Amino acid sequence: MIKLLTEKMREYNDSVLVGIGDDAAAVTINKDSNLLAASDMFVEGSHFLLSKLSPRQLGHKALAASISDIAAMGGIPRFALISAGWPPYIDLDFTQEVYRGLQALAACFEVQVIGGDTVKSPQIILDITVLGEVKGAPVTRGGARPGDLIAVTGRLGASGAGFNLLKSPAANSLLIPPGARESLIKAHLEPYPQVEAAAVLRKGGGLGAMIDISDGLASEINHICKASGTGVLIYADKLPVDRETRGAARLLKLSWLDLALYGGEDYELLVTMAKADFTRAKEALMHKGIKLTEIGEILPATEGVLIQKEDGVFPLTAGGFNHFR
C-alpha cells in the first residue's frame, strides 16, 4: 500500500540519500553530516489497548519506536516532534503521565522535544517524529551481500511472550516465576532502543545492512533480502530465545519459534556483515553488555529466503504485524 500511494513521490534530487522505504529517511546537511527522520503513529485499538498499559508506558513505547528507527540507520537521535489526538474520555492527568513517559525516555538519549501539535480525536493517537544525525552514509536495508552472515542483538520473542501474557485470560494462573513474567511484560511495554549497539557496530565498520525488529524477525529478514537483492538461510536452533521466553511459550501453548519469528516489537537490531568482521563486533558489544548472535548466512537471491528447522529447510514467509490486516 505504501508503495502504491508514494510511487510518484520517489523522484528525489541529490540532497535525498534515502527516501521512502527504509527505517528512516536520510538527507544531506553538509559534507560531514546527514539528517535522519523517522515517524511512527500509535493508534488506540490498533497498536495498544488502554487496559493493558499505563500512560507512562504508552509514552515510552511510542517514542521508543522512532528512536529505534534512527538507530537502525546507524544514527544518533537528537530531536523529537510530538503530535497527539486526545478523545473526550481522557483527562489532563492521563495526558501528563503520557508526556512524562515520553520525557523520561527522551532524557535517556538526550533527545530534545522541540514541537508538535495537539488535536481532539475519537481515540488516542500519538504521532512522533524523531530527527537524528549520522556521520557519513547511513546504514540501510540494502547492503547485504552473498557470503555475509546475519546476526541479531539481544534476545528474540520476549516482547511477543509479554504480549501474550497480557492478553491471555488464563495468564495469571500460569506457574510463571514472577521475575520472568515482569521481565517479559516489560520487554513488550517498555522496549529500549539499541542506540548504543548501533553506534558500536557502526564504529567497528564492516556493516552491510541493518534494520530494527519491529514487525517481527521474519518480516525484517524479508525486507533486507528484498532491498539487497539476496536470499538467506536462517538457522532456527541459533535464534537467541532465552529460558524465560521458552518457558512462557510452553505454558501458553505457543511455539517459541513463532514468537521469535513473528512476535514483533523486540526492537533489537538485525545486521549483516562479512564473516571476518563478526568476532570483533561481537567482542566490542560484549564489552558494553550487549549480546550479538549469528543466526544465518546471506545467499544469492536465486536460493530464496529459507529457514532450517529440525525437520528440514523451508521458505521463511514474512508474517509479523501488518497495519492493515
* Whole-number pLDDT of residue 27: 75
Residues 130 and 160 placed together within one structural domain of the fold: no
CATH number of the structural domain spanning residue 206: 3.90.650.10
Question: Is 310 a member of any domain?
Answer: yes
Question: Is 210 a member of any domain?
Answer: yes
Residues 100 and 184 placed together within one structural domain of the fold: no
Choose among 77, 138, 64, 147: nearest CA to 104: 64
Domain span at residue 162? Answer: 149-315
Provide the whole-model pTM.
Answer: 0.90
Q: Which helix (H) or strand (E) holds 211?
A: strand 207-212
Instruction: Give the burial string for 111-128 (b: 16+ CB within 10 Å, else e).
Output: bebeeeeeeeeeebbbbb
Residues 160 and 106 placed together within one structural domain of the fold: no
> With contact defined as beta carbons under 8 Å apart, do 229 and 272 qualify?
no
Residues 170 and 263 placed together within one structural domain of the fold: yes
CATH number of the structural domain spanning residue 30: 3.30.1330.10
Residues 17 and 118 placed together within one structural domain of the fold: yes
Question: Is 176 a member of any domain?
Answer: yes
User: Collapsing DSSP states into helix, strand and coil, what is residue 75?
Assistant: coil
Domain boundary among 135, 169, 186: 135
> With contact defined as beta carbons under 8 Å apart, do 317 and 215 qualify?
no
For residue 236, the tally of other CB atoms under 10 A from its CB is 18
- Cell reading at 150: 546475519
Counted domains in the chain: 2
Choose among 223, 233, 256, 246: nearest CA to 316: 233
Residues 306 and 265 placed together within one structural domain of the fold: yes
* One pLDDT digit (tens) per residue for the chain, 325 residues: 546 555 655 666 666 777 767 767 787 777 778 999 999 999 999 899 888 999 999 999 999 999 999 999 999 999 999 999 999 999 999 999 999 999 999 999 999 998 889 999 999 999 999 999 999 899 999 999 999 999 999 999 999 999 999 988 666 667 788 799 999 999 999 999 999 999 999 998 889 999 999 999 999 999 999 999 999 999 999 999 999 999 999 999 999 999 999 999 999 999 999 999 999 999 999 999 999 999 999 999 999 999 999 999 999 999 755 443 4
> With contact defined as beta carbons under 8 Å apart, do 78 and 71 qualify?
no
Residues 23 and 127 placed together within one structural domain of the fold: yes
Residues 155 and 288 placed together within one structural domain of the fold: yes
> With contact defined as beta carbons under 8 Å apart, do 207 and 138 qualify?
no
Question: Is 143 a member of any domain?
Answer: no
Residues 65 and 42 placed together within one structural domain of the fold: yes
